[in-house]
Amino acid sequence: GGALALHGVSFVGCLERGRILACQFHPEISGSWASGIIRRWLTPVVPVRAAPMVKHSGLARRVIACLDCHEGKVVKGTKFQNLRDCGDPAALAKMYEQGGVDELTILDISATHEGRANALETIRAVRAVFSLPITVGGGVRSVADAEALLQAGADKVGVNSAAVKRPELITELAKALGRQCVVLAIDARKAEPGSDVDYDVVVRGGRDKTGKDAA
């Protein structure tokens, strides 16, 4: 398999065959993200004693932390309302990496509602201290919006409201950036009794119902 990258023109960024992965990038440009890759490549694998056999699903466990952000701060609320400040995104991202997460998702929860693009300065600040994969969502309406997030330090972009309104956006992003960079997010809410759907897809930070069934 392989993946395309975009820097002026589209080119092959990496190739994978079996246990071998060849990746092309410039560490002096890619900053902490690249140094993190090099560190993990060069760190020897320490053999560990096999754990007792237990029945499981066969899926590898991945821990993905999610930061809901508003005006440059991590916030917590109920259904995107009554938000309270929970700290600095970069500081929390660094803490999560030290704690052993595998990836990070950053959602600008007010970008779509306010009709603006994602806060790029937040992504740059987090990338400066976080070397693992980052997915960013909020305010992505076009290929240009997604490219700006990738250039700011995101590895993948998440689309939600804009994709519900215009599903062809998903194909446009996949063709321009590679499908490995595109994540579809769905906000759903239990539908009211008598509705034609079980779980109603909602957009604009959960504010608007669409009548579309999440399944």
**How far is residue 189's CA from residue 202's CA, in Å, rounded to a whole number?**
7
Buried b (16+ CB within 10 A) or exposed e, 43-54: eeeeeeeeeeee
What tens digit of pLDDT does each residue of 124-137 get?
999 999 999 999 99
pTM of the model: 0.67
Asked whether 2 and 15 are in contact (CB, 8 A), the reply is yes
- Convert the pLDDT of each residue in 136-165 to its tens digit: 998 899 999 999 999 999 999 999 888 888
Enzyme catalytic residues: 68, 187
